[in-house]
Structures are given as C-alpha cells and as structure tokens.
Amino acid sequence: MDRFPRSVALVAAGLVVAFALTACGSDDPAGDKAPDTASSSGQPSSPGAGGEEGGSGGADAAALEGTWTGTADGGPVTLSVASGKVALSAGRHICQGEVKDMGGVMIALKCLDGNTDRTMGSVESNDGEKLVISWEAGAEDTLSRADLSELPTDLPDMPAP
C-alpha cells in the first residue's frame, strides 16, 4: 500500500519533466531570458554538490538540477529543474518558471490555472538529497531527490492534438 503513493509521485515526476522539457515558452517576454544562475552545462550536479544553505551563488542554483518529490496537504508535489527552467506539479496545479538569483536562490513560477500558492519561493536549504523551499504565500515544501531510474518506462503516448 505504501508503494502506490510513491508510484503516483514518480509518474507525476515523469510527466512534469516531460512538460518542462517540451514547454515552448511563455507569454511573458522576461520568461524567454536565460537565468543568470543556471548551470551552463545543463548537467545535474552530483548529490553532494551545492552548499547546505541555499542563499548564495550559482553553485546552489546548479544543485537544484533534477527532479524532487514530496507531499503537501496529503497530495504529491513534484519539482523538476533543467537548465534553470522549473516545472512544478502540486495537487491539481501545474506551474512553470525559472531559477533566479535575487540575493539568494529563488524559484519564480506562474501557474497555468492562476493559483498563487507557489509563485515565489526561497530555497532555504539543499544538501543534495533534501530540498526545503519556503513560498511567499506561506507554504513550505520539503522535497527529496527523485530516483529517476524507478520511473515507469511504459507510459502511454500523448494523444495527438
């Protein structure tokens, strides 16, 4: 019974990653700019990379690369970061945005349904395995790095538009 929520979270992670990597852009002209803090190689950093505190420098932003999962309000939360671009799935909300350096590592998102629970978040800590984000609206997410080797590979194809 414990495996079902984990499986759902991993499937959601896979869908969020696919969504993040295939997103074509946004209506926001500023969203088309590359963030200053993204890793130029686009490669995820090793789990030990990045500091304990998420308050400064590009190394901490690069340490966000990858997929993170957890739960909030009884539902799965999945955050995926690739080349400074971010996709988040929390409950029924799908959000996308980017990592920003604003005196500390921040995550700026815009949710497709207009939800504002997770639009600006501050990375409180990241030890490579556990990530804590405080959102301006009051929520705090504690996420764990996802093991992408456990994602299902037999997902159905997306329907043609």
C-alpha distances in Å from residue 154, one per residue of 11, 130, 150: 11, 28, 12
Per-residue confidence band for 80, with pLDDT thresholds at 50, 70 and 90: very high
Spatial contact of 84 and 22, defined as CB atoms under 8 Å apart: no
pLDDT confidence of residue 157? 74
pLDDT confidence of residue 154? 67
Mean pLDDT of the chain: 73
Is-above-0.85 flag for pTM?
A: no
Q: How far apart are CA 27 and CA 39, in angstroms?
A: 24
